[in-house]
């Protein structure tokens, strides 16, 4: 009898101990890691179906240009697959360069299957974080980075910029046009080289003034540079400067508001920026060099979800893919003559009759051959 009672007590104690151990284990495993230093992310997406997110550069997700186009592509992907912000798709917004690695790491911890780095400025951070997490897929927009878990997405921006130059050359009345870039580097130099080549191909005597703001998120500097250009009788400015370009539009609209009869034009970039140029019944947006970052993001996300992620590959989009184009929204400003000229040069580029320069060195060679 003693042995029976002892055995019963022993079994009860053993059972109670297992129960406590199980409770402790469950509490430890339920903890999640999350930071609070960046906008846009919230829920932990571990487990479940395919998920994807993006990290913006400092221009922000609502820059009305590059980052916004990328987010629109991710949202379109989400809509097609029953996802919404925080439920399958998301973004982390960067306020400074220091946020890039922090945001990428945060999205990794939240178990996103595919993480986009939007802009070449994120290249060092993507290289670092992707190397630390080989089981997570990354896509880098506007730069090439080696890695089996990295897809590099690039565009032939020089082609669309060439057509923007054609439009500017056909529109200017002063034979003076301008270009405002964000940061001076190989990527934005492609926009500059293509634009100048397009202008000079129409009329070699047109003067092209080139300035760089040193930032993709400084509208005040963009407005100051635009003001200086318009004061010098430049009547068309093409900007490739992200959020800085908002200042270019602001200056053009200020001038138009003060003097409705003065012709001042802005050529937008990355997405159709027609709405940014609206002022009353007038619109200062001549056209926009539309770079379909949204299509590229949506395309790569679809491939990844279907188990066909193009890791280690460089995917390039251009005029022939309809991923680069010239907006025609401003039907009054983009006359039939301008459109006809743009289409003529587009055909030459697509057919290989014209090789558009993508560097300043190639541009000089191009101009010398005109």
Q: What is the mean pLDDT of the chain?
A: 89
The contacts of residue 286 (CB under 8 Å, 6+ apart) are 167, 168, 171, 236, 265, 266, 267, 330, 333, 334
Does the pLDDT at position 47 exceed 80?
Answer: no
Task: Give me the pLDDT at residue 64, please.
Answer: 83
The count of C-alpha atoms lying within 13 angstroms of the C-alpha of 286, restricted to the half-sphere facing its C-beta, is 27
Task: Give me the pLDDT at residue 21, please.
Answer: 39
CA distances from 125 to 63, 110, 116 (A): 21, 17, 11
Handedness of CA 140, 144, 145, 150 (dihedral sign): positive
CA distances from 196 to 57, 199, 246, 370 (A): 27, 5, 22, 12
The predicted-structure confidence for 13-23, as pLDDT tens digits, reads as follows 444 443 333 43
CA angle 217, 218, 219 (to 5 degrees): 110
The contacts of residue 102 (CB under 8 Å, 6+ apart) are 35, 37, 38
The SS3 of residue 130 is: helix
Q: Return the closest-CA partner of residue 141 out of 21, 314, 274, 310.
A: 314
Rounded CA separation 1/4 (Å)? 5
| Arithmetic mean of pLDDT, 35-53 | 56
**Residue 26 confidence class, pLDDT cut points 50, 70, 90:** very low
**Residue 65 confidence class, pLDDT cut points 50, 70, 90:** confident
The predicted-structure confidence for 312-370, as pLDDT tens digits, reads as follows 999 999 999 889 999 999 999 999 999 999 999 999 999 999 999 999 999 999 999 99
Task: Give me the pLDDT at residue 34, please.
Answer: 33
The percentage of residues in the chain with a pLDDT greater than 90, rounded to a whole number, is 83
At 246, list the tokens.
Answer: 């908002």
Beta carbons of 283 and 333 less than 8 angstroms apart: yes
Contacts 24+ apart (CB under 8 A), 148-151: 148/311, 148/312, 149/311, 150/126, 150/311, 150/312, 151/300, 151/309, 151/310, 151/311, 151/312, 151/313, 151/315
The predicted-structure confidence for 129-162, as pLDDT tens digits, reads as follows 999 999 999 999 999 999 999 999 999 999 999 9
Task: Give me the pLDDT at residue 322, please.
Answer: 87
Domains of the chain, earliest start first: 37-155+292-322 (3.40.50.2300), 157-290+335-368 (3.40.50.2300)
Does the pLDDT at position 110 exceed 90?
Answer: yes
Does the pLDDT at position 86 exceed 50?
Answer: yes
- Read off the pTM: 0.81
Task: Give me the pLDDT at residue 11, please.
Answer: 40
Task: Give me the pLDDT at residue 66, please.
Answer: 87
The predicted-structure confidence for 191-206, as pLDDT tens digits, reads as follows 999 999 999 999 999 9
């Amino acid at each position: 009898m003693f042995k029976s009672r002892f055995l019963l007590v022993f079994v009860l104690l053993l059972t109670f101990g297992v129960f406590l151990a199980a409770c402790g284990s469950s509490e430890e495993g339920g903890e999640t890691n999350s930071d609070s230093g960046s906008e846009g992310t919230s829920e932990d997406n571990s487990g479940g179906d395919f998920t994807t997110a993006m990290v913006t550069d400092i221009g922000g997700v609502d820059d009305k240009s590059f980052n916004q186009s990328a987010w629109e592509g991710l949202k379109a992907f989400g809509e097609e697959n029953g996802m919404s912000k925080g439920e399958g798709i998301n973004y982390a917004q960067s306020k400074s360069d220091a946020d890039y690695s922090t945001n990428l790491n945060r999205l990794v911890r939240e178990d996103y299957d595919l993480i986009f780095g939007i802009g070449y400025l994120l290249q060092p951070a993507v290289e670092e974080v992707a190397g630390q997490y080989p089981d997570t897929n990354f896509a880098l927009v506007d730069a090439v980075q080696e890695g089996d878990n990295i897809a590099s997405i690039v565009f032939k921006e020089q082609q669309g910029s060439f057509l923007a130059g054609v439009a500017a050359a056909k529109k200017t009345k002063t034979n003076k046009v301008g270009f405002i870039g964000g940061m001076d580097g190989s990527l934005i130099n492609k926009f500059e080289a293509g634009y100048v080549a397009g202008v000079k191909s129409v009329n070699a005597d047109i003067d092209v003034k080139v300035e760089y703001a040193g930032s993709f998120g400084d509208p005040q500097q963009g407005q100051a540079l635009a003001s200086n250009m318009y004061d010098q009788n430049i009547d068309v400015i093409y900007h490739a400067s992200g959020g800085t370009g908002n200042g270019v539009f602001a200056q053009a609209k200020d001038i138009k508001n003060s003097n409705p009869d003065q012709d001042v034009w802005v050529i937008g970039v990355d997405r159709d920026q027609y709405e940014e140029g609206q002022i009353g019944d007038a619109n200062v947006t001549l056209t926009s060099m539309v770079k379909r970052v949204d299509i590229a993001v949506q395309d790569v996300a679809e491939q990844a979800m279907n188990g066909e992620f193009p890791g280690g590959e460089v995917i390039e989009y251009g005029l022939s893919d309809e991923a680069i184009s010239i907006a025609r929204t401003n039907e009054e400003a983009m006359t039939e003559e301008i459109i006809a000229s743009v289409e003529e040069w587009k055909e030459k580029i697509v057919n290989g009759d014209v090789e558009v320069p993508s560097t300043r060195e190639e541009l000089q060679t191009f101009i010398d051959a005109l």
